[in-house]
Structure 1
Amino acid sequence: MKYMHSTEGLTEQMLNGFFVDWPNPPNCATHLKLLKRSYKAIVAVNEEEDQVVGFITAISDGILSAYIPLLEVLPEYKQQGIGKELLHRMMKELDGIYMIDLMCDAELQSFYEKVGMAKSNGMILRNRENQSG
């Protein structure tokens, strides 16, 4: 598995199969656009198939706050540690930012708690030592 911290070289054709169970999922062109416009995007690529199999995005002001709106792994690649690796890599990218927030379904909260996030109305991480910027 190759992890890329850049969207350079990604194509729409590499993004098939995501947003499972979404009633109105974005198409591959929109998916590529959201990856490219994110503050940070990390993708997991199966190099043998030239296919993105997982991704995580963050939007941020780069100083005090960041929000992780999307973390997805293709169904056939789940339970292989890809999501965990994407999350760990993103947390390293966001190191030094005061608040890192995300929203998730209740059944996913334990996954995020393992990286130090806390339950709230959503899931949050507050690096108080970085509060003043």
Structure 2
Amino acid sequence: MIKYVNSLENIDDNNLKGFFVGWPNPPSSKKHMELLKNSDFFWLAIDDTNNNVVGFITAISDNVLSAYIPLLEVIPDYQGNGIGSQLVTRMLNSLSHLYMVDLVCDEPLTNFYKQFDMFKSQGMIIRNFHSQNGV
């Protein structure tokens, strides 16, 4: 069974394996824990049979008007079970007091986000894939 929490209680680096598949320079489990700790908001999907995190979503916010959702990931073996949708729903509920919530996604994912009443916009990005300081 999957449980959803927004706490790192009983979670450590060992519970954060299998994420960032296909990334050219993926963050370590230690960096993953650091990014969760430093996010303004996060939700975790945890397989309660082994206490491993199988999905997560993060947001950074000014807590006045805006938030940005930089990461949503579900471990490949757990995809297709509604975990990503549950994480987005919980995050949007956590951010419902804000005027705007933005995210950037690859084109194939736009239909997924449309189910949450999100719409396409334009944006600009930088990706420092080979940065020593990035991840």
Q: TM-score, normalised by structure 2?
A: 0.88
Tell me the C-alpha RMSD between the 2 structures.
0.7
Count of residues paired in the alignment: 122
Q: Which amino acid in the other structure matches residue 54 of structure 1?
A: G
Corresponding position: 1:90 with 2:91:
yes
Cα deviation 1:92-129 (Å, max 9, x = unaligned)? 0001101100000000001111101010115xxxxxxx
Percent identical = 51
Cα deviation 1:40-79 (Å, max 9, x = unaligned)? 0100000111210000000000010100000000000000
Structure having the larger proportion of residues in strand: 1
Q: Which consecutive residues of structure 1, in runs of 5 or more, have no partner in the other structure?
A: 123-133
Cα deviation 1:70-93 (Å, max 9, x = unaligned)? 000000000000000000000000
Q: TM-score, normalised by structure 1?
A: 0.90
Corresponding position: 1:41 with 2:49:
no
Alignment of 1:1-133 (within 5 A): 1-122=2-123
Q: What corresponds to 1:129 in structure 2?
A: none
Alpha-carbon distance in structure 2 between the residues aligned to 1:56 and 1:82: 10
Q: Which consecutive residues of structure 2, in runs of 5 or more, have no partner in the other structure?
A: 124-135
Structure 1 residue ranges (4+ consecutive) displaced by more than 3 angstroms after TM superposition: none
